[in-house]
Amino acid sequence: MTHHSDQLDWLLISVSTAGAAPNLRMQVWRKLRSLGALYLQQSVCLLPEREQTLRPVRRLLDRVHQQGGAGRMLHLTLTDPAEQRQIIAEFNAARDAEYAEVLERLPAFREELARERARGRATYAEVEESEADLERFRSWLAKIATRDYFAAPAGVAARAAVEDAAADLAAFEQAALAAEAPPIEPRAAVPGRPQGGQA
Q: Is the pLDDT of residue 192 over 80?
A: no
Q: How far apart are CA 104 and CA 159, in angstroms?
A: 13
Q: Is the pLDDT of residue 134 over 90?
A: yes
- Beta-strand ranges (E) seen in 62-137 are 70-77
Containing structural domain, residue 71: 9-77
Domain count, the chain: 2
Question: Please, what's the b/e burial string for 5-25 (b: 16 or more CB within 10 A of its CB; e: otherwise)?
Answer: eeebebbebebbbeebeeebb
Q: Is the pLDDT of residue 181 over 80?
A: no
| Residue 44 belongs to a domain | yes
| Residue 190 belongs to a domain | no
Domain boundary among 77, 94, 112: 77
Answer whether 49's CB lies under 8 Å from 11's CB. Answer: yes
110/22 same-domain check:
no
pLDDT score for 187: 64
Above pLDDT 70, what percent of the chain?
88
Q: Is the pLDDT of residue 189 over 80?
A: no
Indicate the angle between helix axes 154-180 and 124-146, nearest 10 degrees.
160
Whole-model pTM: value is: 0.82
Each residue's pLDDT tens digit, 10-67:
999 999 999 888 899 999 999 999 999 999 998 899 999 999 999 999 999 999 999 9
| Residue 94 belongs to a domain | yes
Query: Of 107, 129, 126, 104, whose CA–CA distance to 117 is shortest?
Result: 126
How far, in whole angstroms, is CA 72 from its chain's centroid?
28
